[in-house]
Amino acid sequence: MSDIRRILDRRAAIREQIDVLNQELDLINDQLRESYDYGSHKEGDYVVSIQRNPRFNTAAFTKSFPVERYPQYYKPAVDTAALKDYFAPVDLKKWQIEGAKKVVVS
């Protein structure tokens, strides 16, 4: 077997291990999301932080402000950066949706 073939075999094995480990990590993060509310939580030597993960709800915004009537808010997609020039942060929150809880372990 050539060196390249061994490297490729090892690479394939590592990718498979990464996939298995990523699935396990997703399950662990799901358990942490279920176990903790938002905030920081000390567990022994670890601090688990559950953070909000807001995302802009483009569908709700475009329903309220259609491109035909408000072209200044759009480029080929909603220009969320430009909206900050037209709306106060509190108004933009109307079009944010909450994503999955963000997990940070340090």
DSSP state, residue 94: G
Instruction: Give the pLDDT confidence score for residue 43 in this predicted structure.
Output: 96
* CA of residue 5 relative to chain centroid, distance: 37
The candidate with the shortest Cα–Cα distance to 65, out of 80, 55, 46, is 80
Torsional sign, CA 86, 90, 96, 101: positive
Helix (H, G, I), strand (E, B) or coil at 47: strand
Rounded-to-integer distance, Cα 68 and Cα 62, Å: 10
pTM for the whole thing? 0.62
Lowest mean pLDDT among 17-21, 75-79, 80-84, 87-91: 75-79
DSSP state, residue 49: E
Q: What confidence tens digit (pLDDT) does each residue in 22-64 have? A: 999 999 999 999 999 999 999 999 999 999 999 999 999 999 9
Instruction: Compute how many other C-beta atoms are within 10 angstroms of the C-beta atom of residue 74.
Output: 16
Instruction: Give the pLDDT confidence score for residue 104 in this predicted structure.
Output: 80
Lowest mean pLDDT among 42-46, 73-77, 84-88: 73-77
